[in-house]
Amino acid sequence: MRAEEVADLMNFHARKGVEFLFAMDFELQEALFIPRPTESKEVLFDIKGRGNAGRLPLRRYKEQGDVLKPLFCDKKQYERGFDTVRHGLMRGDSFLCNLTTVTDVDLSVDLEALFHISSAAYKLYVPERFVCFSPECFVHSQEGRLYTYPMKGTIDASVENAEECLLSDEKEIREHFTIVDLMRNDLNSVCRDVRVEKFRYVERIDSAKGAVLQTSSIISARLPEDWLSRCGSMILSLLPAGSISGAPKKSTVDLIRRAEGRKRGFYSGVFGFFDGKELDSAVMIRFVEKADGKYRFRSGGGITTKSECDKEYNEVLQKVYVPIKA
């Protein structure tokens, strides 16, 4: 199905109060829709402990290498993409652009087992295609308001004075201001009374590979009274997500296509669950896909005129990990 068809189904089922699971790819060319997904056992999902996954008797994987081993990431291809983005930034096509890349990886488990082993607020498994273990909320509704939590800025937690370095980094500050402003404008297009509830706070994410610190903000807005009958259309109008595209959105997406030279597919798209009353959704980052019998990890980061290619390349490699359950 295409994204527009799924949006219509979301509008219909939300209006009726019927639970559903949905996913839309980055290009809005492919989408999934499953009514009453807790009764399904093929596509698995877990959103903050709610879902249809159940549990598998899996042994503990204490070391990152026990699960995932990076094999190859084409640095020259990344450098070409970075140069394309930088030229676009200097021309004024964009002032924040999310550039992504692909790392070939070796897995010691299959995608379904990886789904169960991983620890994340938002998890989705589509058989023989991909698994996503994302920490990043896209939007969620709660008592008449719509919330989003843009994440921009990461640093290795083992770096000396890591939190101070992250909060004082000029490039990270600019990125965060930009994405917060973009998401405020996006929410204002479908809601009213937009507020930045909390700005640029630091969170710690632990994994077997090590801990990272990241900065996030909280933005909320008042939903229209008829939002249930329009929830799919509202989600569609907010895509692609600002955190994995950039600003201004339209020209930045065009720049991404030129720089990356490949479709992202479901990576950096969104998925979510409607429980009959409220909607919760995620940006599909932290993503492993299966293609031609091989596994590929997708990762990326925001590029500004202050970005340095080697530093950005190392940052996307740092994101190639699986958050393992303790």
**172 assigned to some structural domain:** yes
pLDDT at 56: 64
Rounded to an integer, the average pLDDT of 283-296 is 95
Give the span between the Cα atoms of 262 and 204, in whole angstroms: 32
Place of tokens 């950039």: 246
**326 assigned to some structural domain:** no
**325 assigned to some structural domain:** no
Its pTM stands at: 0.91
Rounded to an integer, the average pLDDT of 276-290 is 97
Q: Omega before 240 cis (within 30°)?
A: yes
Residue range(s) defining the domain that contains residue 267: 3-318
Q: Using one digit for the tens of pLDDT, what is the confidence trace for 53-83?
A: 876 656 666 556 678 999 999 999 999 999 9
% of the chain residues with pLDDT over 70: 95
**245 assigned to some structural domain:** yes
Give the span between the Cα atoms of 103 and 320, in whole angstroms: 8
Average pLDDT over all residues of the chain:
92
Half-sphere CA count of 99, side-chain side, radius 13 A: 32
**324 assigned to some structural domain:** no
% of the chain residues with pLDDT over 90: 75
CATH number at residue 72: 3.60.120.10
**42 assigned to some structural domain:** yes
How many separate domains does the chain show?
1
**25 assigned to some structural domain:** yes
**323 assigned to some structural domain:** no
pLDDT at 318: 87
In terms of Cβ atoms closer than 10 Å to its own Cβ (0-12, 13-18, 19+), residue 181 is middle
